[in-house]
């Protein structure tokens, strides 16, 4: 460590020891000694200090050290690599200084069982890397910072037995495993804790109400609590809101009265409701729109579009005799409006459910489009959803797929899982299947340079037998040096462009696949095209905390860390910023199969009485 850091750490210890110089000597906190290199059992090294790669102080654990002084955050936070700070069960007093914000890498902060007082500083939520916080059994008072939810990925928050007051702020409850604020003076409604924590976590706060406590909240009471200044602010807020709403309404009315613009070729028209249960309530509106159209149908106002000649129905066992008019008239429901188009669920023939993707602004020629779709259709792979039909017009392209009832990988990972278990074995299977299918497609479509172009967990769907399959293959053109039809600012693409500028469509898919692997391993949501997740994983791995990236569900299931790390290594290769360094899908498929074989071998060789052999839930 740097001399300045050593000096600061000695100062930190002096403050903690309240001038008891004996302490410092006994524990070897001497700036002339190396805190890192020495015997672990304090022999020339600093007691309670642990270092990373024998260089930087990473952990300071001074539990039960009879410390009676105060906490000098500014000094201790000069140790930039500090990840764990634990001062449990001493008699430290005073407050936590705002300078705690400088401990940027801090992941675990434990000060329970001391005599800390004062408020938790508002700089605290700036410590985004925090995983666990234990401030229980102290004399902390005042309100918690309102933006505690900024610490995303928090696993533990323990603050029981203090004098904290005010409302409990919103936390990022998605990953929280432990939460306790019992025996404080919190008041008001309990935020939605997603039924993860019971009444024990909140008891001993007489003014708290709402679930999971048995005391219900009285709506009027919160109103009374506001001061007149508060009330003024709230009312003026309402007024502003009302003005905005009125303005929007006016704008909408003005727009509506204008003639329809040329570009709006396909509209969703009002008519009969798709849902049978609502059928009679809307019969009155039917006459207005002329019979057969459904409330949400992909109908067109453009005369040209109703010609069935442009709909190409590919030979498939799913639909026979699908006509364009049928498609337009059929009841449809808008499922999503993605960056690249909208997706409709269409009931056809009362038996077949189709998914229709509508893409706008794709400047591809009719012949190219047709060739492309037919080529994709020719390369059949059981794990790739083939289009059943497609439609071309200059402004609009429609792609028809069979609707998959079992949802997407995204939904399985992040949706309400309905008690479904998505265990390690199943995740590994998904990874292996998708890698294999993608490798096959890449190989077959190498010549035309047709990659998937938009691989992500919403485009991996589960079929009837819960086997994963890739959908929307080849709907995005991202080839050569010329700009893909995506915007230039798309960080996904610019990322795929890499530092060396070389562009490869297939390597974009490899990146996308790497992000899917990260999602499978961490269980975390992907934002910003996976860029955030990727950089988070990188930072954790760099600091040798690899085990912390994995989904808690996988850890508690007892999944093999060794094999999770192997899969993580594959993912990191896929998301290499330089596309040329990324392996091919074929190589990736081989790597994942090796991990899968290891897994299978271990299941066979493990004794049946083993913890995971018994508890392993069925894979799909
Ligand atoms: N064939 C299908 N069957 C069932 N659900 C589907 C099908 N195709 C897509 N979906 C689901 O419908 C939703 C909307 O799909 P859409 O493709 O519009 O979204 P997206 O993939 O997030 O966006 P985009 O592809 O435009 O980037 C997604 O949740 C997707 O998983």
DSSP characters for 462-473?
E-TTS-EEE-ST
Q: What is the pLDDT of residue 528?
A: 67
Q: d(Cα 529, Cα 548) in Å, to the nearest integer?
A: 22
Q: What is the pLDDT of residue 478?
A: 52
Q: What is the pLDDT of residue 318?
A: 67
Q: Rg of the chain's alpha carbons, rounded to an integer?
A: 30
Q: d(Cα 45, Cα 375) in Å, to the nearest integer?
A: 67
3-state secondary structure of 11: helix
For the beta carbon of residue 185, count every other beta carbon within 10 angstroms.
Answer: 16
Q: What is the pLDDT of residue 269?
A: 29
Residue segments in the chain with a per-residue pLDDT below the cut of 70: 37-44, 52-54, 219-232, 234, 256-309, 316-318, 320, 416-420, 477-503, 528-529, 604-620
Q: How far, in Å, is the centroid of ligand 1 from the Cα of 607?
A: 42
On whether the CB atoms of residues 593 and 428 are closer than 8 A, the answer is no
Q: Which residue has the tokens 């000069």?
A: 78
Is 471 a pocket residue for ligand 1 (Cβ < 6 Å)? yes
Distances (CA, A) of 541 to 145, 274, 558: 30, 50, 20
Q: What is the pLDDT of residue 109?
A: 95
Q: What is the pLDDT of residue 464?
A: 85
Q: Which residue has the tokens 């049928």?
A: 326
Q: d(Cα 592, Cα 432) in Å, to the nearest integer?
A: 6
Q: d(Cα 563, Cα 236) in Å, to the nearest integer?
A: 57
**pTM surpassing 0.80?**
no
Q: How far, in Å, is the centroid of ligand 1 from the Cα of 320?
A: 24
Is 384 a pocket residue for ligand 1 (Cβ < 6 Å)? no
3-state secondary structure of 139: strand
Q: What is the pLDDT of residue 223?
A: 43
Q: Which residue has the tokens 């702020």?
A: 169
3-state secondary structure of 209: strand
User: Has 357 been labeled as part of a binding site?
Assistant: yes
Residue of 319, 334, 343, 467 to mutate, ligand 1, most atoms within 8 A of C-beta: 343
Is 344 a pocket residue for ligand 1 (Cβ < 6 Å)? no
Q: What is the pLDDT of residue 475?
A: 86
Q: What is the pLDDT of residue 278?
A: 32
Q: d(Cα 240, Cα 452) in Å, to the nearest integer?
A: 46
Within 263-373, strands assigned E span 266-268, 298-300, 311-313, 332-338, 341-348, 352-360
Selection from 327, 329, 358 nearest residue 264 by Cα: 358
Q: What is the pLDDT of residue 533?
A: 83
On whether the CB atoms of residues 86 and 63 are closer than 8 A, the answer is yes
Q: Is the peptide bond before 12 cis (omega within 30 degrees of 0)?
A: no
Q: What is the pLDDT of residue 44?
A: 55
**End-to-end CA gap in the chain:** 52
Cβ contacts of 36-43, under 8 Å, gap ≥ 24: 36/1
Is 336 a pocket residue for ligand 1 (Cβ < 6 Å)? yes
Q: d(Cα 170, Cα 151) in Å, to the nearest integer?
A: 11
């Amino acid at each position: 460590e740097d001399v300045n850091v050593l000096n600061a750490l000695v100062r930190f210890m002096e403050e903690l020891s309240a001038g008891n110089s004996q302490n410092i000597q006994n524990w070897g906190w001497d700036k002339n000694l190396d805190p890192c290199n020495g015997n672990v059992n304090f022999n020339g090294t600093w007691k309670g200090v642990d270092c990373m790669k024998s260089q930087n102080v990473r952990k300071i654990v001074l539990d039960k050290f009879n410390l009676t002084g105060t906490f000098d955050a500014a000094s201790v936070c000069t140790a930039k690599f500090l990840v764990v700070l634990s001062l449990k069960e001493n008699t430290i007093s005073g407050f936590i200084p705002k300078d705690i914000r400088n401990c940027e890498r801090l992941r675990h902060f434990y000060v329970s069982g001391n005599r800390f007082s004062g408020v938790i500083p508002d700089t605290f939520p700036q410590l985004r890397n925090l995983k666990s916080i234990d401030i229980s059994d102290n004399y902390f008072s005042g309100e918690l910072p309102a933006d505690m939810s900024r610490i995303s990925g928090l696993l533990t928050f323990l603050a029981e037995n203090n004098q904290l007051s005010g409302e409990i702020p919103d936390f990022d409850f998605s990953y929280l495993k432990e939460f306790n604020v019992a025996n404080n003076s919190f008041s008001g409604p309990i935020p939605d804790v997603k039924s993860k924590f019971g009444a024990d976590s909140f008891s001993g706060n007489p003014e708290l109400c709402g679930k999971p406590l048995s005391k219900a909240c009285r709506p009027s009471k919160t109103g009374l609590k506001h001061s007149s200044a508060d009330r003024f602010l709230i009312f003026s807020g309402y007024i502003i809101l009302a003005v905005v709403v009125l303005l929007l309404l006016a704008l909408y009315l003005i727009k509506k009265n204008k003639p329809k613009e040329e570009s709006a070729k396909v509209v969703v028209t009002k008519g009969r409701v798709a849902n049978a249960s609502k059928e009679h309530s809307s019969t009155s509106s039917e006459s207005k729109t002329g019979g057969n159209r459904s409330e949400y149908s992909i109908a067109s106002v453009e005369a040209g579009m109703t010609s069935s000649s442009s709909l190409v129905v590919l030979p498939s066992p799913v639909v026979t005799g699908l006509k364009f008019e049928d498609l337009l008239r059929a009841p449809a429901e808008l499922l999503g409006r993605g960056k690249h188009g909208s997706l409709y669920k269409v009931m056809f023939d009362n038996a077949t459910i189709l998914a229709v993707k509508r893409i706008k602004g794709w400047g591809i020629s009719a012949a190219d489009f047709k060739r492309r779709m037919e080529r994709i259709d020719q390369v059949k792979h059981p794990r790739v959803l083939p289009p059943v039909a497609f439609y071309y017009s200059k402004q609009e392209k429609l792609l028809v797929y069979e609707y998959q009832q079992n949802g997407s990988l995204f939904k399985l990972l992040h949706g309400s899982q309905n008690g479904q278990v998505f265990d390690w074995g199943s995740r590994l299977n998904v990874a292996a299947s998708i890698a294999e299918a993608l490798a096959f497609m890449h190989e077959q479509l190498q010549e035309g340079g047709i990659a998937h172009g938009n691989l992500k967990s919403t485009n991996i769907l589960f079929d009837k037998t819960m086997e994963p399959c890739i959908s929307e293959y080849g709907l995005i053109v991202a080839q050569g040096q010329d700009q893909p039809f995506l915007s230039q600012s798309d960080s996904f693409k610019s990322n795929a462009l890499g530092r060396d500028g070389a562009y490869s469509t297939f390597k974009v898919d490899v990146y996308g696949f790497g992000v899917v692997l990260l999602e499978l391993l961490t269980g975390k949501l992907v934002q910003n095209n996976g860029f955030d997740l990727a950089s988070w994983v990188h930072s954790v791995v760099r600091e040798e905390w690899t085990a912390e990236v994995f989904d808690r569900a996988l850890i508690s299931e007892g999944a093999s860390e060794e094999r999770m790390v192997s899969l993580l290594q594959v993912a990191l290769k896929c998301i290499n910023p330089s596309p040329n360094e990324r392996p091919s899908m074929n190589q990736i498929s081989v790597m994942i199969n090796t991990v899968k074989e290891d897994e299978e071998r271990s299941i066979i060789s493990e004794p049946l009485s083993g913890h995971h052999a018994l508890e392993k839930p069925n894979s799909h």
